[in-house]
Structure 1
């Protein structure tokens, strides 16, 4: 088995079958199609709200980078572990899509952010200093790239 990336393996037959089943007739593009409308209905039921937006993306990198760019401005920082997926495996995509937002790397055992490291990073922020990079997002990866998980107490 090779768990390097889901993008390097063939699609499961059920995925191909699902794609083929909707590949008939003409449909509107850019989210105006019946499949996207059906997905919107399912998500609305799942999250019990009609007030949301969603985007279908082609990869995990696109999903991560676009999601972070919604919350991190071009002058902000995403606090994450130094071994976090967004720090090691996204090739600068989060920084690019946020227009220059910074990944501020924190330490901790087993790729879990150490509480003291987080408290130190947050304590060093001076919002009245115009040249300070404000922390705008905290990224916690669970399960981590090392296979460890945060416990509820953490």
Structure 2
């Protein structure tokens, strides 16, 4: 009954097997290993982008930060949602790597609207040399509230960005979950919708620790390489990143794992809808559920062995009838039985 985070789930056995296989003998470092050539070609094929630059980094914070550093200048501001991961969960790493500021766009259900984005863009670059200049847009997909931008919503945001000459980055830590839920192609969710760079996540979806930075404008590639090295994220024994991504992409494993995680979330959501003591705050669309119920109910669940985050208060201390917000996340390894056990416990 572990629903704290998909970061807490195990790596897939095929990923671990690939690491063991890659550990034989010698291989050139810093991305010159032969496995990386296969990975680069596979990612380009998946995204239908033959000229895309593809690089691997060990975690999502670094992937987002180095990409945004490549896309922005220190005197600019990066536009993102008020609940974006780059704002809430990366300890100012994007600001550290870019030296730019973040401008937060208000959201509904965790998503920015085109109108809200335009309002924020218009509020910047109005004071000449004295104020921040407009920088790139960053979109989190899946959002931090477990909701999804539709393809039309992504295109509406990038249309606004293009109107003002701004590039767009997609934080795809849960890229596979979003893709599976939308039933579209990677190209449709990225460059065909005018996305310029993507943090293509593996860690939350069954890898040990690897993200692909996909850059659709080859002119940005060399600067990214320099920033990755300068930022301390060019792994010397790179083959262990390459091997993970190779196994992750082989035979559609990445999509199979995302579909499984999404299916368990749908099973969980269906069970929660039948409980009048529980209120879901957003319509679950991928593998994350936000809900609220009484403090006493949270305490009962946690004492009974359920593991998840209570986001808005201490479940141990306070009014037992106070409504507290909880978050449930399913990963690829969650089973139907695990979900059923949680729901049985909730029913009491």
Give the TM-score normalised by the residue count of structure 2. 0.40
Higher strand share: 2
- Cα distance in 2 between the residues matched to 1:36 and 1:13: 20
Partner of 1:132: 131
- What is the CA distance between 1:90 and its match in structure 2? 1.0
- What is the CA distance between 1:3 and its match in structure 2? 4.2
Q: Deviations over 1:91-143 (max 9, x none)?
A: 11111111x11111111211111333212112223367012212211112232
Q: Does the alignment pair 1:142 with 2:144?
A: no
Partner of 2:53: 53
Partner of 1:66: 66
Q: Secondary structure at the match of 2:56?
A: coil
Partner of 1:115: 114
Partner of 1:12: 12
In terms of Rg, which structure is larger?
A: 2
Higher relative contact order (CA 8 A, sep 6+): 2
Q: Secondary structure at the match of 1:20?
A: helix
Partner of 1:41: 41
- What is the CA distance between 1:153 and its match in structure 2? 4.5
Contact 2:125–2:134 (8 Å) recurs in 1: no
- Cα distance in 2 between the residues matched to 1:115 and 1:58: 32
Q: Deviations over 1:52-104 (max 9, x none)?
A: 43221111111111111111211111101111111101111111111x11111
User: Aligned in 2, Cα 1:25/1:85: closer, same or farther, shift over 3 Å?
Assistant: same
More deviation in 63-72 or 37-46? 37-46
Count of aligned positions: 151
Partner of 1:96: 96
Give the TM-score normalised by the residue count of structure 1. 0.85
Contact 2:77–2:134 (8 Å) recurs in 1: yes
Q: Secondary structure at the match of 2:78?
A: strand
User: Aligned in 2, Cα 1:43/1:144: closer, same or farther, shift over 3 Å?
Assistant: closer
User: Aligned in 2, Cα 1:152/1:22: closer, same or farther, shift over 3 Å?
Assistant: closer
Structure 1 unaligned spans of 5+: none
Contact 2:82–2:104 (8 Å) recurs in 1: yes
Moved over 4 A (4+): none
Contact 2:43–2:54 (8 Å) recurs in 1: no
User: Aligned in 2, Cα 1:132/1:10: closer, same or farther, shift over 3 Å?
Assistant: same
User: Aligned in 2, Cα 1:149/1:2: closer, same or farther, shift over 3 Å?
Assistant: same
